[in-house]
Structure 1
């Protein structure tokens, strides 16, 4: 049996099963969010955008089609290898730890779809914020699209099962030590697998604390991809825009 104990995100995201389980993610919703976001930020054509923790690059690819120069980075080599198939002038991908600055400056840095709070050490959350700051031009915008932790916890489904491509994924969820856990067990070709996702249950207050320590100004807080006002009880997302 395969079991992840440390750096689960590095290994789980690198498997084909991660992409099978989450293959039904809404691409139209993602594109809708990108349109609203770049309009709100008033990004000029050819602006340089860093898509931080880009996965296979779905946001990066769409942003490039919108006319921006995009670099997508992710810790998963397999994901970046797949994303690289879409590379062309103005669109590139690189394996990179997001808690370490890339050494380039951008008009905007996007961290999307709850791609934050995975680290074993909380200090790396702050290091990631500091890295984003270092990657922004003086007038650039940082964006973190995170889950609304309070609503997620209040509506947590403790157990369920989901069959995708003939694989039955059994999922168990719980909260422990300020982390939201999801254990995923399944069998494929007579081999049993077990992976455990873990995301820090960060709130708006936690992010404000990181921003204060990093010397970052929080500009706007939204609660969904329509960019409606954030409501801790009702909003689906916690979308932070900062400089």
Structure 2
């Protein structure tokens, strides 16, 4: 029997949904569905740190070069949330999985005291040397928790965008997050929506990096399974969709077409013409995604009293 990493329920080992062989680590994975909490998870659940610095995934390569230093859709969704809540500076914020630091740099300019950690040392170097962020560390959550205890650190807000789906033990991860929260503190983050429109299509055509598969993504969340997990660990979560804006921009679509093999060369006129055609297409795609529930699922919550 296989144990669900969220609720602990048993799943029959031969009742897997699909298989996936990773060319990155030469391991075959099996996908299981837990009927108790609705989580889909891949086995073996073995976290491999090295894949985050090997640049097989395009976004990591761009972060290491100091490019793509822009806010993503989940970041802007959270900032819009901040503006409607009593979460105004000065507050101490920790971003777990901060990457090259563009999000916390923006928050720093808003007046927040920002901290960030990431297991990718190359991204942390960009955060320090290009964005001049001070409190950013190449730490795992375990290492930073030890550091925080030694230095009596607590945080008013802890964010972890597109991080939870990478965890081999999400309950343990969230318990450590809760230990870093100040009284009345808030968590916020996002995960990919496994039920998003065209999910299976994009998984099939994006074979270069296997972005949505292990050893990168171990957990596939629905709104139900995400809410269950957060509630189990002791949070009162608010769940809502991430609006699609920048992710499906014409420029991102063009770059994506190039990554899957379409060549446009260095002809600026041709690229400008293609972008002109793609802009109305981009608007329609974004509108359809937003109507259908978005690409990602956002969560915000406080610990239960």
Q: TM-score, normalising length from structure 2?
A: 0.57
Q: How many residues align?
A: 204
SS of corresponding position for 2:177 = helix
Distance in 2 (alpha carbons) for counterparts of 1:53 and 1:87: 17
Distance in 2 (alpha carbons) for counterparts of 1:111 and 1:62: 16
1:13 maps to 52
1:160 maps to 205
**Cα gap change, 1:50 to 1:146, in 2 (>3 Å):** same
**Cα gap change, 1:152 to 1:206, in 2 (>3 Å):** same
1:170 maps to 208
Please, what is the CA RMSD of the aligned residues?
3.1
Structure 2: gaps (5+ residues): 1-22, 28-45, 245-289
Distance in 2 (alpha carbons) for counterparts of 1:198 and 1:242: 23
SS of corresponding position for 2:205 = strand
How far 1:47 moved relative to its partner?
0.5
Kindly indicate which of the two structures has a greater share of residues assigned to strand: 1
CA-to-partner distance for each residue in 1:38-73, whole Å, 9 max, x for gaps? 213322322000011111111111111111001001
Q: Which has the larger radius of gyration?
A: 2
How far 1:97 moved relative to its partner?
1.7
Distance in 2 (alpha carbons) for counterparts of 1:170 and 1:132: 33
How far 1:197 moved relative to its partner?
2.9
Moved more, 11-20 or 134-143: 11-20
CA-to-partner distance for each residue in 1:192-218, whole Å, 9 max, x for gaps? xxxx53331022222233223322222
Q: Residue 187 of structure 2 is aligned with which of 108, 119, 142?
A: 142
Determine whether 1:197 maps to 2:241.
no
Q: Is contact 2:193–2:296 with CA below 8 Å preserved after alignment?
A: yes
CA-to-partner distance for each residue in 1:68-113, whole Å, 9 max, x for gaps? 001001111222122122345xx4101222366343211100111x
Q: Residue 206 of structure 1 is aligned with which of 225, 231, 236?
A: 225
Distance in 1 (alpha carbons) for counterparts of 2:50 and 2:170: 19
Q: TM-score, normalising length from structure 1?
A: 0.70
